[in-house]
Amino acid sequence: MEKTLPKIEIIEKYCKGCHICVEFCPKDVLEMKGFYASVKNLEACIKCMQCELRCPDFAIKVITE
């Protein structure tokens, strides 16, 4: 079965660049691009939702089917 990829939405207006999502992602999907978090490797995402759960700033949404 083909793997369905989620859509990771990062709201830059809310992101304060604290690195929490980047550090606690178990699959190294996110990276810091300048001040904000951004998606580096969406293919590796296992939809564990850790980034959405831990983001203190309501800045990440992992949209799955």
What is the rounded distance in angstroms from the CA atom of residue 13 to the CA atom of residue 3? Answer: 30
Q: Binding other proteins by CB under 8 A: which of 14, 26, 42, 44?
A: 14
What residues does 8 pair with on adjacent strands? 62
Pick 40 or 47: Cβ nearer other proteins? 47
Question: Could you tell me which stretch among 14-22, 26-34, 36-44 binds other proteins (CB under 8 A)?
Answer: 14-22
Torsion of CA 26, 59, 40, 23, to 10 degrees: -30
Kindly list the residues in this chain that would bind other proteins in the complex (CB under 8 A): 9, 13-14, 16-20, 23-24, 52-58, 61-64
